[in-house]
């Protein structure tokens, strides 16, 4: 093989450098590099969008502190002042997830809106660990469960449902029930 960037002049036998042919290879390499960088950026943006959806689906707000512990297994942690909750969304059966609008009126006439989300699955879907300890140093609350009911203090029912759908369409596989 020869380098096509060098051409032989027919009349005099002199070699001439053709920069346009060499430029084509450089442009193709640049396009390949840009495609790779855009793909990595798109994957990172997809992870950020998924984390935003998980944050809203688990807390009913965009401002909560939610971290991904394991992207492949879809394990996320919600940290609050006195308690840490861990959700294993990869173990949830999305077909069994239910949503309910709740309106609550206090004895003083104040109205609050909630969305109740019930999740079920095979294996642990929810863990809670209290930051308070008993006399022995053990957490006061430590529990694992194959089901949970979240009460989200939000009136955005449709957005909660969209967030849960997004999670299982764009990231988590879930674990369908065995029957």
- What is the pLDDT, as a whole number, of residue 35? 53
Q: How far apart are CA 49 and CA 177, in angstroms?
A: 27
Mapped onto helix, strand or coil, the DSSP state of residue 76 is: strand
Domain hosting residue 84, numbered range: 46-170
- Domain membership of residue 132 (yes or no) is yes
Q: Confirm if 166 and 121 have CB atoms less than 8 A apart.
A: no
- What is the pLDDT, as a whole number, of residue 5? 47
Measure CA 103 to chain center.
29
Q: How far apart are CA 59 and CA 115, in angstroms?
A: 10
Domain count for the chain, please give it: 1
Question: Average of pLDDT values for 36-61?
Answer: 75
- Domain membership of residue 40 (yes or no) is no
Q: Cβ atoms within 10 A of the Cβ of 130, count?
A: 15
- Domain membership of residue 12 (yes or no) is no
The H or E element containing residue 164 is helix 157-170
How many H helices and E strands in the chain?
2, 10
- Domain membership of residue 56 (yes or no) is yes
- Domain membership of residue 58 (yes or no) is yes
Is 60 exceeded by the pLDDT of residue 4?
A: no
Is 70 exceeded by the pLDDT of residue 16?
A: no
> Could you tell me the pLDDT band of residue 122, with boundaries at 50, 70 and 90?
confident
**Token digits of residue 25:** 């290879």
Provide the pairing of β-strand 6-8 with 15-17: antiparallel
- Domain membership of residue 70 (yes or no) is yes
- Domain membership of residue 156 (yes or no) is yes
- What is the pLDDT, as a whole number, of residue 149? 94
């Amino acid at each position: 093989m020869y380098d096509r960037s060098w051409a032989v002049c027919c009349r005099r036998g002199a070699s001439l450098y053709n920069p346009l042919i060499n430029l084509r290879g450089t442009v193709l390499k640049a396009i390949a590099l840009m495609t790779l960088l855009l793909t990595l950026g798109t994957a990172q943006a997809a992870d950020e969008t998924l984390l935003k959806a998980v944050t809203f689906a688990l807390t009913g707000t965009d401002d909560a502190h939610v971290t991904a512990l394991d992207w492949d297994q879809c394990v996320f942690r919600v940290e609050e002042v006195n308690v840490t909750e861990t959700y294993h969304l990869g173990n949830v059966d999305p077909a069994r997830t239910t949503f309910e609008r709740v309106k609550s009126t206090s004895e003083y006439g104040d109205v609050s809106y909630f969305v109740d989300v019930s999740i079920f699955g095979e294996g642990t879907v929810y863990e809670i660990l209290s930051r308070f300890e008993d006399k022995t140093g053990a957490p006061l609350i430590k529990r694992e469960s194959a089901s949970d009911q979240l009460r989200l203090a939000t009136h955005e029912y449709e957005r909660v449902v969209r967030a849960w759908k997004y999670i299982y369409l764009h990231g988590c596989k879930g674990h369908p029930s065995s029957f």
